[in-house]
Amino acid sequence: MAAFVIDHKDTQGSVQLTGDLTAIMVPDLQAGLKQLLQKGARNLVFDLANAKMLDSSGMGLLIAAANSLAQMGGKVRVTNVSPDIFRLLQSMRLTLRLNVSGREE
């Protein structure tokens, strides 16, 4: 079973993670994102509300998506990240690049 749900309307796309964003799920998610871009999505929201873990492969996927969309005039937003994941992305200087926001209290 896929650990994510992808939705799409016009140029807006969303990816709801149902668990962690780690190396094991990157290949399937990459394939899903490729289809999403082919359908015309230019702005993507990754919802990490259910993710406890993000590793360097998951970060790489988010950066690759941001790089691809930037070339098309679009952008990525990463929302509802845990405090641990926010600190990690902040330390990697990625919060601006990925438009990261934390979970609401």
Partner 1 sequence: MSPSREHAAISFEQKIQSNPDEVELLSLKVRDVLQANGLSQFCFPIELLARECLANAMNHGNENDPEKSIVLQLRVGRAWIRLLVTDEGPGFAWRKAVQRKTGVVEVDGRGLGIYALYAERFQFNRCGNRITIWIDKKKQTGNGE
Q: Which residues bind partner 1 (CB under 8 A)?
A: 22-24, 52-53, 55-57, 59-60, 63-64, 66-67, 84, 88, 91-94, 97
Reduced to 3 states (helix: H, G, I; strand: E, B; else coil), residue 51 is coil
Tell me the CA distances in angstroms from 55 to 2, 11, 43, 97, one per residue in order: 18, 28, 23, 17
Q: Which is nearer to partner 1, 21 or 36 (CB)?
A: 21
Q: How far is CA 13 from the centre of its chain?
A: 11
Nearest Cα to 80, choosing from 54, 60, 50, 53? 50
Residue number, 7 or 84, with CB nearest to partner 1: 84
What minimum distance in Å lies between the beta carbon of 80 and partner 1? Answer: 16
Sequence-separated (6 or more) residues with CB below 8 Å from residue 104: 80
Nearer to partner 1 (CB atom), residue 9 or residue 93: 93
Nearer to partner 1, 5 or 23 (CB): 23
Q: How far is the CB of 6 from partner 1 (least distance, A)?
A: 20
> Least CB distance from residue 9 to partner 1, whole Å?
27
Instruction: In whole angstroms, give the CA distance from residue 11 to residue 40.
Output: 6
